[in-house]
Amino acid sequence: MPPPRTPLLTVDAVIIGKDGESIILVKRLNPPFKDYYALPGGFVEVGERLEEALRREVKEETGLEVEVERIIGIYDEPDRDPRGHVVTVAYLCREVEGELRASTDAKEAKRFTLKEAASLKLAFDHEKILRDAEALGAWK
């Protein structure tokens, strides 16, 4: 298969827990970054709107329903994903309902304090996305 002619598109979710302080991360089941924690997210399907893809990916990976608050940023470094040029739109979300559980390509879904999450080595550029969310006042 020839390489794509344009970057691939993904969405990522910074999910603030119902307590207003925790963040939900998933442990990746598959490469790249197998066994690293990451923000829930994934590839946008053809014909799918970004927020629909975000809600689908969050539900698939964590079992949770979320309310989308705002875009944190667009991350487009060509080398941010070892599989190729992948652009992501990161969203700030709040947990609404559901039971936290790992599913699909997540080995584990877990709540962390922001301090705990900051001490983890995260997949892709998710440390930067978390810092950007914090700078926006996501936990205030």
What the block records as the tokens of 93 is 């979300």
Q: Phi then psi for 70, rounded to 5 degrees?
A: -170, 165
Rounded CA-CA distance 104/100 in Å is: 13
Which residues have C-beta within 8 Å of that of residue 82, sequence separation ≥ 6?
32
Count of CB atoms situated within 10 Å of the CB of 83: 8
- Supply the residues annotated as catalytic: 108
Phi then psi for residue 11, to 5 deg, are: -130, 150
